[in-house]
Amino acid sequence: MAEPPRSAAGSQPLARLAEPLLRRLSELLDRAAPGRGWRDLAQRAASRGRLRLSPLDLEQCSLRVLEPEGSPSWSLLKLLGDRGCTVGELVEFLQALEHTEALQCLSHSGIKIVIQPDSQAVLSGQVVKLCCWATGHPFVHYQWFKQEKEVPHGNSPELVLNPVNVNDSGFYICRVNSESSFVFSRWAQLEVCDLQDTSHATDKVALLIGNMSYWNHPQLKAPMVDVYELTNLLRQLDFKVVSLLDLTESEMRNAVGEFLLLLDKGVYGLLYYAGHGYENYGNSFMVPIDAPNPYRSANCLCVQNILKLMQEKETGLNVFLLDMCRKRNEYDDTILILDALKVTANIVFGYATCQGAEAFEIQQSGLANGIFMKFLKDRLLEDKKITVLLDEVAEDMGKCHLTKGKQALEIRSSLSEKRALTDPVQQTASSAESLARNLQWAKAHELPESMYLEFRCGVQIQLGFAAEFSNVMIIYTRIVRQPPDIAVCRAYVTDFALDLDVDPKEANKGTPEETGSYLVSKDLPKHCLYTRLSSLQKLREHLIFTVCLHYEYPGIEETMDERKEVNVGKPLIAKLGLHQGLKNNDCLQTCVPNNPFHNQIESRPVAAQYYIPGHYQPNSCAGVYHTNPLCSDSIRQAEACSSNGVSRILASRREVQNHCPVEKSNVPVETTDDTAELEFLLSDSLGFSKQQ
């Protein structure tokens, strides 16, 4: 029989057990032999007065069998949890029933994995060692699996493949058994490349920026969805991704500076930008959300200047995906003369549209994508040379009748080697630069830990956190314990720093969509209140807020209040201080002038010079994405769309779009919720049998 959990685990409220664990217990109780089922458990629990259930409660549990996925045991465990049943008490009841399988589910704390196996990408012929070390009483046994098949002779903490070959590629996991329980390690992916394929990256990092909420220019819609979907795809390709929405000029410059810190020799670097932009004299400019109207090059970021700084890092591949218009900015008569780029064969530009043309968004059946991303996302995971992949995206876009003659993908490349976004990361001895790079990336993606707050009245509240972007976080709250003598109970978060500009009317909503978050709703726990915090890069101090609890007792009209202040530090991108002025390092000082309102000759950067021809009066609207109704170009564009009968589907990014639900990705959002117990999901398929 399994040992009961230790005191710390035994005192844990049953309501705090992870949902997969409760589901597993429910399945075991539902199909248990007579004398060990859920009714027997309810009878044992009745020995504790506060856990006694009424005949009506038991009848409601029983009626769950009539539902397609109903479970009487699930309903019983939830009722016991609501009444304050602890894990230790549940163990006592199960011991009395001699329900060994259910006890095993609750006794995993006896095994602790202290070293987890790591994913690796290696060349064939090398020696590979996967390690899993665990502690347990009195001792533990190991069994390695590749996918769902046992690895022959894989019964030790170290799985050694000597020499490794291409057929050894796959996902590996180790099951650790003790006398009465078992746990699984995390999955480790082994990627083995043939010696003939020498395309490897020392690392892969990406900076994704989507600007929508412009202060002085038309609002955009699609960049949020485009950045979110591209983030999920690149993460599947092992890119370290920083994804940011709505940055000012100084924030963009500092974000680029932090991105450059992630680069090193042999690293694959990818920069994606969606928002307003323009192109003058062969140079592309990204427009921050605080750019004045009209804007000029001194107010914007020059992509070619960023490329030069990337090259100085000796990167293995530089990919620029620019989802913006490329029309000439007639208000900007400055010619930016850059220092010559290095002659390297590792540069790829994917422009969403041709020079002098606009980029479009498409909205239909709740979708909100830019045309470029609509076609790019279908091919990005293909194992093909990046230029070949973009060529096929261009062909796909060319077949779209909505944009034919209006938008066409343009590719510029100096790539002479077979480089692909799917190239594996070569595992080498960690250099100081690599360690610093990983630390910098990790700093920008740390979420606060999920926490439980205890109030004097006996109510317990869970606070959880999820990352939608590197600078957008969702806080969700739920009541996990409510004493029976409290009739009404509600908790909400408030008192956020003014830097974040949180609208109280859009906080503490019953669904993520009501907060403006359409992208991650399916990945968040249900039955919570949700608050979306954006622009975390503006946070100057620790994120401190208040959790307010309102509750009422039966027969008393007065509402009771309790408040707790919570400090969660600096979450996600807030740690990097992008709100600060330009940092004092060379890579930023050489981007563009520090002060956009200084004379352009006096404040010229080291890496660039300006030639200013004689001033002339512009004769058309400035730049790209403008919406001046008096501009003849805008009128002609609207007529062109309407004449094809697709004006509600295809829209230039110059037009203001309304919010609507969007297509969701199948890649889960990062949250601080308790993760699923992997062994419960895999034990059946891996054919667990107790080690003798």
The alpha-helical segments, DSSP class H, found in 462-568 are: none
H, E, C per residue of 72-87:
HHHHHHHHHHHCCCEH
DSSP-assigned states of every residue in 230-288: HHHHHHHTT-EEEEEES--HHHHHHHHHHHHHT--TT-EEEEEEES-EEEETTEEEEPP
Q: End-to-end distance of the chain based on CA atoms, in angstroms? A: 15
Backbone angles phi, psi at 371, to 5 degrees: -55, -45
**Contact predicate 268/317, CB 8 Å:** yes
Rg of the chain over CA atoms, in angstroms?
A: 29
Q: Which residues are catalytic?
A: 276, 325
Residue 307 Cα distances to 18, 257, 259, 269, 688, angstroms = 47, 12, 12, 10, 53
> How many Å apart are CA 128 and CA 125, to the nearest integer?
9
Best CA proximity match to 306, nearest among 209, 397, 402, 441: 209
Return d(Cα 141, Cα 301) in angstroms, integer.
57
Token code pair at residue 555: 């027969």
Spatial separation of the C-alpha atoms in residues 103 and 92, rounded to whole Å: 10
Angle at 602 between CA 598 and CA 604, to 5 degrees: 90
Q: Per the structure block, which two tokens stand in for 69?
A: 């996925």
Strand order in the sheet with 277-280: 277-280, 283-286, 301-302
Cα dihedral 546, 551, 557, 559, rounded to 10, equals: -10
Q: Which residues contact 623 (CB under 8 A, 6 or more apart)?
A: 276, 277, 278, 287, 294, 295, 325, 327, 329, 330, 331, 332
The continuous run of DSSP H or E covering 564 comes out as strand 560-567
Number of helices (H), then strands (E), belonging to the chain: the values are 16, 32
Structure tokens at 659: 């919010």
Which two three-digit tokens encode residue 584?
Answer: 């004092």
Task: Classify 67 as helix, strand or coil.
Answer: coil
The dihedral over CA atoms of 389, 392, 397, 401, expressed in degrees to the nearest 10, equals -160
Token pair recorded at residue 492: 């909400």
Which letter does DSSP use for residue 334 in this model? Answer: P
What's the CA gap between 290 and 534, in Å, rounded? 16
Instruction: Name the one residue in this structure whose structure tokens are 């979306």.
Output: 532
Cα 468 off chain centre by:
5
Name the residue among 82, 117, 79, 99 with its Cα closest to residue 29.
99
